[in-house]
Structure 1
């Protein structure tokens, strides 16, 4: 059984905060590939940044997401990933118009069948030095992901707008319930 749980959805919707809480509960987590690429490119003064060269940025994100998958798939534990390959491929498809998700559909599912998506949440959305797009762009991205994950065979579970503790309880409780149903 695939034990890699993707937390995706709206940029600025609280994914990283949720993953921090899951990590605090001793759940293994993998940081968002895009944030790691941005940090590395800013340190090295590179040009593969979403506001400079989105295509180059996304190709790096895809490579890092694939590397994360390979490393995480060796574990027998539940591992929670902050975004992943589907997100990056959907974004690159949006930018280039190439049918990348169709190609991805031919591959085996990369994550657990249940994908958690955080919805747009204007009350907590903030821009920063690494997140320069506005809420409208983040919402459009969310809507693309809301289509992409089911099109690739994932069951989407929307994480409710609640405290971070309640969100973590929801994710873990939903996974436990899914496991009970599978093995009943």
Structure 2
């Protein structure tokens, strides 16, 4: 059975994790964001912000983890798998920070594809920063454009999810898939 791999992406503080958690609570299978785990592991090793201090190393770890997530999704016998961020997110953030990266990043984006991309727009009213989210809202706006461009570059047509309650945004996603 070929399953659907559905990415929910967007800049920081757009509600991705809340939607993923909601979809999961409704019985859908979800793979969660992994960058926070990488950040926390680095902090335990004494590196406060690995992405800022060693951006290529952080991105290599993130790329490897996202490729592993993709393999996991392919192996699952679930009709739909929702994924909090995809492989092109790694490239989008590297582009945002002006960090050069090896060809393996581009190859990974081309070789590990998804079926649908849902893009959450910046939303100032719900944006907050925390220990792992250090970007300002203005930076989040630019990151949003980088994410959108990254997915378009790799042949996707991101579907923008309108602002609203978590339930309404989740319903929009489900209706888009069922329609």
Mapping of 1:90-109 within 5 angstroms? 90-94=92-96, 95-98=98-101, 103-104=106-107, 107-109=110-112
State the partner residue of 1:123: 125
Mapping of 1:8-87 within 5 angstroms? 8-46=9-47, 49-77=50-78, 78-87=80-89
Give 3-state SS (helix, strand or coil) of 1:60's partner.
Answer: helix
Q: Normalization by structure 1: what TM-score?
A: 0.86
Among candidates 135, 138, 141, match of residue 139 of structure 1: 141
Q: Normalization by structure 2: what TM-score?
A: 0.88
Contact 2:28 2:81 in 1 (8 A): yes
Give 3-state SS (helix, strand or coil) of 1:96's partner.
Answer: coil
Give 3-state SS (helix, strand or coil) of 2:7's partner.
Answer: strand
State the partner residue of 1:166: 168
Task: Classify 1:147/1:154 alpha carbon distance in 2 versus 1 (closer, same or farther; 3 Å).
Answer: same
How many angstroms apart in 1 are the aligned matches of 2:36 and 2:108?
25
Task: Classify 1:17/1:102 alpha carbon distance in 2 versus 1 (closer, same or farther; 3 Å).
Answer: closer
Task: Classify 1:101/1:140 alpha carbon distance in 2 versus 1 (closer, same or farther; 3 Å).
Answer: farther
Please identify, of 53-62 and 38-47, the stretch whose mean Cα deviation from structure 2 is larger.
38-47
Superimposed CA distance per residue, residues 128-177 of structure 1 (whole angstroms, 9 cap, x where no aligned partner): 01101111111111101111112211121001100000011111111011
How many angstroms apart in 2 are the aligned matches of 1:63 and 1:150?
22
State the partner residue of 1:157: 159
Contact 1:19 1:29 in 2 (8 A): yes
How many angstroms apart in 2 are the aligned matches of 1:50 and 1:85?
16
Which ranges of 4 or more aligned residues in structure 1 deviate by more than 4 Å? Answer: 98-102
Deviation, 1:124, is: 0.4
Q: Which runs of 5+ in 1 are unaligned?
A: 178-184
Deviation, 1:100, is: 5.3
Aligned length: 176
